[in-house]
Structure 1
Amino acid sequence: MDSTVLNPEVKQKDADRAVVVAVTAHAVFESGADDGDEVYKVGTAFPLLQALQRVNERLLEENPAESLLFDVILVTTDGQQQSSRIISSTKHYGLEVSKFCFSTTEDFIDGLRTNNVQLFLSSDRKEASQASQNGVLSALLDQNMAACPSEQLRVLFCGDAVVHSNNSPMPSFSAQLGEMRQRFGMFDSPLSMVLMTSRGGRESCSAALLTLRSQGVSVDEAYCLGGSPRGPILSLIRPHFLLSNAFSDLEE
C-alpha cells in the first residue's frame, strides 16, 4: 500500500490550481551502494527539479499570490526503504518537493491517482509505460538530462503526438503549461516550449502549431525535420523531457 508524506519544509500548493508533477526518486538521486553518507548524490533528473523550482520562483516574483505553480512529488517504488535518506537528501539540496509517495511496483499507480498527478516522469521505461496505460500522462527521462539547464525548464512537444494524440490528459496539461508561459515575456522566460515534427513537411508543422494554439500554447521554437535525424537538434535544444505518444529516448 502506498504512503504519502507531506514535506513540512515546503508550503503546500493550491490543489485546484497547481500542476502536479511526480518524479521517481531514483532519477533525482543516485541510490547506489551505501557509502555511509546521510544524503544521496544528485542524479540525472536533478536539473529538472531545479528548473521546475525556478519557474515557481519566477511566477511568485511576478505575482506573490500566484496559484498556478508546479507541485512536485517524489515517488519511490521500493516501499519505505531509505525513506528517511530521500527526505534528508531533498532537504539538504533545498529542493521544493511538496510530498513524498512511498509505493511498491504493484501499487505506485494508486499513489499517482491519489495525488492527482498530471505528469509522471521516470527513467524506467516500464514504469512510464505502465503509468501511461493507466491514464496518467507520462514521459521517459534519460541520461542526457544531466546536461540540461537548471535555470530554464525546456519542454519538447512531438508534432505527431500533438495532432494525433490518443492521450486525453495531454491537451489539458499543455494548456496549463501555455497559461504559465503567458505569465512571462518573450525573452528571459524560465519556461521554454519547443515543437518538433520528425516527419512530413511544413503542413505537418503548421497543423501541430495550430493544434497547440487552440490549446492556448504558443511555442518559443519550432523545428520541421522532414525525416532528418533528431540527434543534432536535440543536442541544441537540450529538453528536459519529450511529450510524445511513444516513449522515445531523447538521445535518438
Structure 2
Amino acid sequence: MLVVAVSSRALFNLEDGNTIYEQEGAAAFGAYMRKHENKPLRPGVAFHTVRKLLALNSHGMHDKVEVILLSSNTLDAGARVMKSVTHYRLDITRAFFTSGGDRFRIAKAANVTLFLSTNPAEVKKALGCGIASATVIPTSRLPAPETESAPLFIAFDGDSVLFDDSAERVNQLEGLDAFRASEMSNAKVPLGDGPFKSVLLALHEIQTSFEDRPDKPLRIALVTARELAVHERVLRTFRTWGVTVDEAAFCGGLPKGPILEAMNAHLFLDDGQHNVESARHFVPTCHVPHGIQADMAAAA
C-alpha cells in the first residue's frame, strides 16, 4: 500500500490564516480558524494530486492508497480542516494533529511512504527521518479538464530522487565528461537507492494489480536529464529492483517542462531547482531537497 501523508497547508489553502499565525501568533490563528470553522477551505497545491491518488481506490481495487492528514496544528484549529475534508468528500479516515510537536515520529509509526508539504524545512526533517518527502511548489496552472479523467501520471527524476546521488556527485564535482566516463564504466553496476525508491516500489505494486486491464488508471515515467549514451545503468537498476516504467525520457539537457506537459503528467518530482522551475509552469511539481544539489544550495 502507498501511504501518503499531507500537511494541512498543502491540502488546503491556509495562506490567510498562516499570515495571521506569523504576524499575531498561535492564539490569533486558532481564533481565526474557529470563527471560520464552517467555511470550507479552498483547495491547496496538493489537493488535485491527493484526489487523483485516492481515485485509484475506486477502480475495483480497494486499499491501494491511503492518505493521512499530518498537521502541526492543534486539534481545535484543525476542526476547520477536517470539516473541509468532509465538504470535498475526500476519503481520508486518519488525521494527526501535533500542536507543533514532532510529526515524523507519528509518520514512521503509521508506515508513511510519502510526505507532501509546502514547508521545505519540514520536508528536510522528514527526509532525515527516512521518509520520502517533497515540497509541493505553488503553480498557477490547474490540471487540464481532459487530465481529470485520465490515468494518474507520476513522473520522477532519476539521480538523487529514485537513485542515490553518487552519479550526480561526479557530475557536479568533476564535470559532464567525467560523469559520462563513470557511468559507462559502471554500466553493469546498479545505482544505489534514492529516497523515492520506496514510492516507486509501492506504485509498481499498485500497477501490477491492474496489469490485466486495458484501461490502466496509473502510469509512471522517468524523466531524466541524462542522455541516451548513459542509459544502461538506469535500465540495469530498474531490472535489479524488478520494476518497469511506462515511459522514459532521456532529455539530454532539454527543458523538462514542455516534455512533461506533452506527457500530461499530473505530478513531477525532481531534486534540481532549475528543473523544478522549468516544470512548475507546465505541470504540478515537487522539489526533493536531497543529494549534492541540495547540499550545494544550502551552502551557497
Tell me if TM exceeds 0.5.
yes
Tell me which residue corresponds to 1:164.
Answer: 164
Number of equivalences: 228
Deviation at 1:187, TM superposition (A): 4.6
Matched letter for residue 280 of structure 2: E
- Asked whether 1:192 is paired with 2:219, we answer yes
Contact map agreement 2:155 2:220 (CA 8 A) in 1? yes
Mean Cα displacement is larger for which, 207-216 or 110-119? 207-216
Tell me which residue corresponds to 1:30.
Answer: 13
Deviation at 1:104, TM superposition (A): 4.1
Contact map agreement 1:179 1:216 (CA 8 A) in 2? no
Q: Distance in 2 between matches of 1:207 and 1:104?
A: 45
Deviation at 1:109, TM superposition (A): 1.7
Contact map agreement 2:164 2:194 (CA 8 A) in 1? no
Q: Distance in 1 between matches of 2:2 and 2:241?
A: 16
Q: Distance in 2 between matches of 1:244 and 1:229?
A: 13
1:1-30 deviation per Cα after TM superposition (whole angstroms, max 9, x unaligned): xxxxxxxxxxxxxxxxx3211011211111
Tell me which residue corresponds to 1:143.
Answer: 138
Deviation at 1:139, TM superposition (A): 1.8
* Identity score, percent: 29
Tell me which residue corresponds to 2:107.
Answer: 112
Deviation at 1:221, TM superposition (A): 1.2
Q: How does 1:56-135 map to 2 (within 5 A)?
A: 56-58=57-59, 61=60, 63=61, 67=63, 69-135=64-130
Matched letter for residue 46 of structure 1: F
SS in structure 2 of the partner of residue 74 of structure 1: strand
Q: Distance in 2 between matches of 1:129 and 1:187?
A: 39
Mean Cα displacement is larger for which, 75-84 or 130-139? 75-84
Contact map agreement 1:103 1:111 (CA 8 A) in 2? no
Q: Distance in 1 between matches of 2:99 and 2:194?
A: 26
So what's the TM-score if we normalise by structure 1? 0.78
SS in structure 2 of the partner of residue 231 of structure 1: helix
Contact map agreement 2:163 2:194 (CA 8 A) in 1? no
Q: Distance in 1 between matches of 2:271 and 2:121?
A: 15
Q: Residues 77 and 202 of structure 1: is their aligned pair in 2 closer, same or farther, counting only changes over 3 Å?
A: same
Tell me which residue corresponds to 1:3.
Answer: none
Equivalent of residue 225 in structure 1, options 234, 244, 251: 251
- Asked whether 1:215 is paired with 2:241, we answer yes
Higher helix share: 2
So what's the TM-score if we normalise by structure 2? 0.67
SS in structure 1 of the partner of residue 238 of structure 2: helix
Q: Distance in 2 between matches of 1:218 and 1:27?
A: 30
Tell me which residue corresponds to 1:11.
Answer: none
Contact map agreement 2:220 2:246 (CA 8 A) in 1? yes
Q: Distance in 2 between matches of 1:229 and 1:76?
A: 35
Q: Residues 106 and 54 of structure 1: is their aligned pair in 2 closer, same or farther, counting only changes over 3 Å?
A: same
1:181-231 deviation per Cα after TM superposition (whole angstroms, max 9, x unaligned): 1222475322110111113x2143343233223323221111111112222
Q: Distance in 2 between matches of 1:83 and 1:163?
A: 36
Q: Residues 241 and 106 of structure 1: is their aligned pair in 2 closer, same or farther, counting only changes over 3 Å?
A: farther
- Asked whether 1:204 is paired with 2:230, we answer yes
Tell me which residue corresponds to 1:19.
Answer: 2
Matched letter for residue 72 of structure 2: T
Equivalent of residue 179 in structure 1, options 205, 218, 222: 205
Contact map agreement 2:127 2:195 (CA 8 A) in 1? no
Q: Which runs of 5+ in 2 are unaligned?
A: 18-31, 166-191, 282-300
- Asked whether 1:237 is paired with 2:232, we answer no
